[in-house]
Structure 1
Amino acid sequence: MSVQDRLTDALYGLGWSAVKKLPEPVAVRLGRTIADVAWKRRGKGVRRLESNYARVVPDASPERLAELSRAGMRSYLRYWMESFRLPAWSEERIRDGFTLKDSHLLTDSIAAGRGVVLALPHMANWDLAGAWVTTDQKIPFTTVAERLKPESLYDRFVAYREGLGMEVLPHSGGSAFGTLARRLRDGGLVCLVAERDLSASGVEVTFFGERTRIPAGPALLAQQTGALLMPVTLWYDDSPVMRGRVHPAIEVPESGTRAEKTSVMAQALADAFASGIADHPEDWHMLQRLWLADLEPRPSTGEPS
């Protein structure tokens, strides 16, 4: 392991061991202070966040985009402060920390024995939403985690999420899809963060007027298992409570090839995500490139432009 990797792992370890011991008001102030310092430095992540917000709010002035990126960094650090503290939260604290609108769409389907795929964008605190599902609703679920570097950091995240009651599968390796399909056929719940394609082989969709790719997995799982595909969006307001909404299920088209059905469902998923993000852009934590126009260009063919 390199020095950088050891440092990264140690910093995350310090967060989980130290921040969770802080009184909540102190952790809140610490997160806001770190967010403001990072925002003022305008590093690569902050600049990318602001660029992404420019797609979401195309008529925003530079001043408005700066306000959004500052609020976005505060939201992002709130996510981290909460996540570091989640393992020490009581069931009552988790239950009181989240309100989910139209949760019956999820619970009624699970109670009827039908599998559900919940697909979310990177909004607010998806870990808190997952902890609420497992502790308050008593519904176990399976999810997938990106393999992080160093490996020890990935292990920390897996242990953290398993400690919250989640079954965590590695994104790479090829066996995750089959396991997810079995869970769904058994009437289980699968939760996937799904607005950013990590495989470079996702489905092209229009997202805030421009082309990007999102994972095909949620739509394919629904097609192959008969599970319901439901988008979920999350947001913070001025209270300590995080809020969310379960959107109506995305239907599998009655006709078309598998690829055509997947394309239609993926676009519907992107549209649901976009509606939630447009309402609460500051709670969308996308500090990476997302749209195809922003990705690294392909190598030149040598032909004149």
Structure 2
Amino acid sequence: MVYQLVKIVSRIVCMLPPPIWQRIGKMLGAFCWLIVPTKRKKMAKENIMISLSLDPYQATEIAKRSTTRFGKMFMEVLNMPNFKANHMKDYVHYQGCEYLDEALKHGKGAILATAHSGNWELLGAALAMYGFPLIGVAQKQTNAEMDKFINEYRRMSGMHITYKTGVREMVKMLGEGRVIGLIMDQDAHSDGVMVEFFGRLASTPQGAAALARMKDSPIVPAFITENTDGTHNVVLHPAVWVERTDSREEDIRKTTQELTRTIEHHVRQHPHEWFWLHNRWKNTPQIK
């Protein structure tokens, strides 16, 4: 029932002119901010103040913009059939694709390391439509029908989708020269490696560095940002390689720290586009 309902909504949205669905997205975003629990808003504001050295008013404004943008993001996902038909040529601009092209020439696949910044769903779709053999690594949704819908729309762009548990499939596809897309900016609990993020230790997913070390594959950081006219820029960075030593743990930690610095630099440039409502420092060691 949920799947069919969302599909119907998507068809309606695809028939609307951009100014209309973008306006609806703004209204949805404003509603999202209203329903965010006060405790969550307070956490986001405090983390912004600590990370960016801002006053409470500035931090609140960034937290609000970071949340309200989800309305437009959702509308963009519903519009995926239209983006597919138009090849995104008028909606997304690309910078640095030569870095991923060069990385793939080594014949060992590549890992795309990104963050919950900008419309990360659009990032994967845009790169797949550009022609890169992208594998999206997804978190299985609690609602099976929404999981079906989201992954159907991801595949619509040409992506292959695997779940986070599909490590063997990721290793196999790296060997086939594919690009594995991994988001690596959420708290990883006890499974993560502790590295500095905005001056504080944060438990960080080590999958990108671990996979790259295992297969000797390059890691290409990639982000998406929104322009003032509503279009987007996909920005790719030069490849990062894991320095292989006798210490696997240290190799993974050093590479994860380097990638995290790149993410931090991007967030500093576009703070309102990052997902501040997530408690990134949930498992930060307490100073005694």
TM over 0.5: yes
Question: Could you give the per-residue CA deviations for residues 211-268 of structure 1, whole angstroms, max 9, x where no partner exists?
Answer: 1112111101111112101111221120222113222222212424111100101111
Q: Which of 50, 56, 62 matches 2:45?
A: 50
Aligned to 1:265: 255
1:33 paired with 2:27, answer: yes
Deviation (angstroms), 1:113: 3.0
1:147 paired with 2:140, answer: yes
Structure 2 vs 1, CA of residues 49 and 247 (structure 1 numbering), >3 Å: closer, same or farther? same
Aligned to 2:124: 130
Q: Give the % identical residues.
A: 22
Aligned to 1:64: 58
Deviates more, 1:233-242 or 1:87-96: 87-96
SS at match of 2:191: coil
User: Contact between 1:213 and 1:291, CA under 8 Å: does it hold in 2?
Assistant: yes
Counterparts of 1:248-287 in structure 2, within 5 Å, are 248-287=238-277
In structure 1, what residue type is equivalent to 2:111?
A: V
Aligned to 2:163: 170
Q: How many residues align?
A: 286
Aligned to 2:86: 92
Superposition TM-score, scaled by structure 2 size: 0.89
Structure 2 vs 1, CA of residues 200 and 167 (structure 1 numbering), >3 Å: closer, same or farther? farther
**What is the rounded CA distance, in whole Å, between the counterparts of 1:122 and 1:270 in structure 2?**
13
Aligned to 1:21: 15
Structure 2 vs 1, CA of residues 61 and 168 (structure 1 numbering), >3 Å: closer, same or farther? same
Gaps of 5+ in 1: 1-5, 298-304
Structure 2 vs 1, CA of residues 134 and 195 (structure 1 numbering), >3 Å: closer, same or farther? same
Structure 2 vs 1, CA of residues 188 and 293 (structure 1 numbering), >3 Å: closer, same or farther? closer
Deviates more, 1:205-214 or 1:94-103: 94-103
Q: Which of 272, 279, 283 matches 1:289?
A: 279
Question: Could you give the per-residue CA deviations for residues 62-84 of structure 1, whole angstroms, max 9, x where no partner exists?
Answer: 11112212221232222111111
Deviates more, 1:225-234 or 1:84-93: 84-93
Aligned to 2:67: 73
**What is the rounded CA distance, in whole Å, between the counterparts of 2:204 and 2:284 in structure 1?**
15
**What is the rounded CA distance, in whole Å, between the counterparts of 1:107 and 1:204 in structure 2?**
31
Gaps of 5+ in 2: none
In structure 2, what residue type is equivalent to 1:257?
A: S
User: Contact between 2:141 and 2:147, CA under 8 Å: does it hold in 1?
Assistant: yes
Aligned to 2:235: 245
Structure 2 vs 1, CA of residues 90 and 182 (structure 1 numbering), >3 Å: closer, same or farther? closer
SS at match of 1:290: coil
**What is the rounded CA distance, in whole Å, between the counterparts of 2:4 and 2:124 in structure 1?**
25
SS at match of 2:20: helix
SS at match of 2:79: helix
User: Contact between 1:76 and 1:283, CA under 8 Å: does it hold in 2?
Assistant: no
SS at match of 1:107: helix
SS at match of 1:240: coil
Question: Could you give the per-residue CA deviations for residues 155-213 of structure 1, whole angstroms, max 9, x where no partner exists?
Answer: 222212112211111223xxx11111111122211111111145640111111111111
User: Contact between 2:245 and 2:251, CA under 8 Å: does it hold in 1?
Assistant: yes
Deviates more, 1:224-233 or 1:115-124: 224-233
Q: RMSD of the alignment, in Å?
A: 2.6
Counterparts of 1:188-199 in structure 2, within 5 Å, are 188-198=178-188
